[in-house]
Amino acid sequence: MHKDLRGTHLSKKAFDNNEISTTLGDPHAYYEWDTGMGIGRFLQGLKEGRIWGTHCDTCKRTVTPPRVFCELCFSKNITWRELKTTGTVNTFSLCYVNWDATLIKEPHISAVIEVDGTSPRVGFLHLLNEVDPQKVCIGMKVEAVFKDEKERMGDITDIKYWRPL
């Protein structure tokens, strides 16, 4: 369904005849954002080689990445917990296409990792490595492989990947 939108429609002819004004340059537009209390502490933990989660003292659920309130019961009655750097593959995908849509022979293996110490079905998406793609399976026990301490920036990529235990 086509909706008539307000504004000036640009035509191929206008582009071909250089009727469209453009300016090239670097606007030097830099920005920063606040990660907040939950994700900020989680990312700082990754920089330190640790994984943080939060435990809801009301409904007894433990999650990572952490939340500042429980999204199930909406309680703010949470406790911070340092979790293990091990986990279990909940689901995975073998991807034979690179980020730029080129085909690759060895797949990227993305997986949802349930970090040990969290409630069932709580995890985050990351990469698996050091494993034969044909041997990856749901339920596989894995451990986080962190970047060298000097290379960590406080990003999710401070965990380079997860590998089988």
Asked if pLDDT for residue 3 goes beyond 70, the answer is no
Asked if pLDDT for residue 125 goes beyond 90, the answer is yes
- Which pLDDT value is given to residue 41? 94
Q: Which residues of 19-46 are buried (b: 16+ CB within 10 A; e: fewer)?
A: eeeeeeeeeeeeeeeeeeebbebbbebb
- Which pLDDT value is given to residue 4? 64
The CA-CA-CA angle for residues 114, 101, 113, to 5°, reads 5
Residue 134 DSSP SS3: helix
Instruction: Find out whether 165 and 86 touch, Cβ atoms under 8 Å.
Output: yes
Mean pLDDT throughout 70-94? 96
- Which pLDDT value is given to residue 118? 97
Which is more confident, 1 or 47? 47
The confidence band for 5, taking pLDDT boundaries of 50, 70 and 90, is low
The confidence band for 84, taking pLDDT boundaries of 50, 70 and 90, is very high
Count of H-run helices and E-run strands, the chain: 2, 8
Start-to-end CA span in the chain (Å): 52
Residue 63, both tokens = 């999650």
Give the pTM. Answer: 0.77
Asked if pLDDT for residue 56 goes beyond 90, the answer is yes
Asked if pLDDT for residue 88 goes beyond 70, the answer is yes
